[in-house]
Amino acid sequence: MRATVIHAPHDIRVEEVPDPAIRLPTDAVVRVLKACICGSDLWAYRGESARQPGQRIGHEFLGVVEETGAGVDGFTVGDLVVAPFVWSDGTCAYCADGLTTSCPEGGFWGSVGSDGGQGEAVRVPHADGTLVKLPAAAASDDRLLTALLALSDVLGTGHHAALGAGVTEGSTVAVVGDGAVGLCGVLAAKRLGAERVIALGRHTARTDIARRFGATDVVAERGEAALAAVRELTRGEGAHSVIEAVGTEQSMRTALDIVRDGGAIGYVGVPHGSASGVDLGVMFDRNIALRGGVAPVRTYIPELLPDVLDGTIDPSPVFDLSIGLDEVPAGYRAMDGRTALKVLITP
C-alpha cells in the first residue's frame, strides 16, 4: 500500500510500504477513508520532535474494517469506524477510569513499527478497545464523514481542554490558540454551557470559525494588549477558565496572564521547548489550577458522537484544505506555512 513516511525534518514522502496484516488476534485492519494532518505532526516535520528516519506519520483516521483477528468481538468486516489517536486495550485499570492514554498496552500511530494514519490502511492493535463504530450511512455523507474525523483527535482534545479548564454552565472561557484544537476548544466550551467565550487570534479566517463555533468575543491583540483586552471583557479579573491549545512558553504565559485568580488552565498544547511558561510562584499566589495533558479521546467519543451525528456540533469547518494522499507533502508545507488550518486527506 501507499503511506506517508517521514525521512527527516521537512522530508515527508508518500511511498510504497508493506500492506498491513493481522499479527495478533486482537488486531484489525482498517482501510482509511479520511485522514488528516495535525498541528502536532508539524513538530516532527520541523525536527522539534525526534523521529527515526522511515517512521510513518499521522494519527487521525476513520475508515472501514477490512479484516479482523480471531479475538476481535466488537467489529466485523465492513464496519465504518473511527480511531482515536492512541490505541488502548479497553480492559486495564486506566481504561476503566477513562484514562486510555495511560493504558500500558497502548501506543501511538506512527510510533516505530506501527502504521500511521496518513496512508491507505492501518493495522489497529486492540481493535475492541480502540475503535468506535459509526453508522454505515455516514460513509455516503462527505460533510458528516469529515466532521466525524475530528473525533479522532481535535474535537476530543478541545473537550479535554474545556474539562481541564473547568468550563461549566454560564462560565467565561478564554481560548489561547487559533489552530484546530483551539477552535474545537471553543466548540467544546460552548457545548458545555459557557456563556462567554473569548477567542484570542489575529487571523480572521480562523477567528471567523471561532465565532461560528460560539465565540462571543475575539481578541486580536497580543502580549500586554491582549491581557488588557481580556481584562476589559471580564470586569478586570480575567477568565475563570482558560484553554491553552498551543504548547509554547509564550502561550502558557498568556494563559496565566488572562486567567482569573482561583481559575483553571486546561492545557492540551503539546509542551515543547526548554521552558514551560509555568510560573509556580504566580500560580501559588493566585490559586491557579493547571489540568490537562494528552487527551483520552477514546473515552470522549461515545459522548461527543451523538452531537456530531445530529448536527448539534459540527467541527468540519476546521478542515480548510482537502487533498489526496499523493499531495500530503504539499499539505505539510501548507500547514507549516499557515496557509492551511487543517488538511483533510482522502487516500
Which residues of this chain interact with a copy of itself, rule CB under 8 A?
93-94, 97, 99, 101-102, 164, 235, 237, 252, 261-262, 264, 267, 270-271, 276, 278, 280-281, 283-294, 296
Q: Are 182 and 245 in contact (CB under 8 A)?
A: yes
Q: How far is the CB of 270 from a copy of itself (least distance, A)?
A: 7
Q: How far is the CB of 243 from a copy of itself (least distance, A)?
A: 15
> Which lies closer to a copy of itself via its Cβ, residue 140 or residue 235?
235
> Which lies closer to a copy of itself via its Cβ, residue 264 or residue 325?
264
Q: How far is the CB of 51 from a copy of itself (least distance, A)?
A: 17
> Which lies closer to a copy of itself via its Cβ, residue 2 or residue 272?
272
Q: How far is the CB of 335 from a copy of itself (least distance, A)?
A: 22
> Which lies closer to a copy of itself via its Cβ, residue 94 or residue 213?
94
Q: How far is the CB of 249 from a copy of itself (least distance, A)?
A: 10
Of 39, 323, 35, nearest in space to 158 by CA? 39
> Which lies closer to a copy of itself via its Cβ, residue 62 or residue 174?
174
Calpha distance 302→46 (Å, rounded): 34
> Which lies closer to a copy of itself via its Cβ, residue 45 or residue 267?
267
> Which lies closer to a copy of itself via its Cβ, residue 190 or residue 260?
260
> Which lies closer to a copy of itself via its Cβ, residue 94 or residue 332?
94
Q: How far is the CB of 278 from a copy of itself (least distance, A)?
A: 5
> Which lies closer to a copy of itself via its Cβ, residue 207 or residue 248?
248
Q: How far is the CB of 303 from a copy of itself (least distance, A)?
A: 17
Q: Which helix (H) or strand (E) holds 74?
A: none
Calpha distance 70→192 (Å, rounded): 40
Q: How far is the CB of 103 from a copy of itself (least distance, A)?
A: 10
Q: How far is the CB of 337 from a copy of itself (least distance, A)?
A: 27
Specify the 3-state DSSP secondary structure of 187: helix
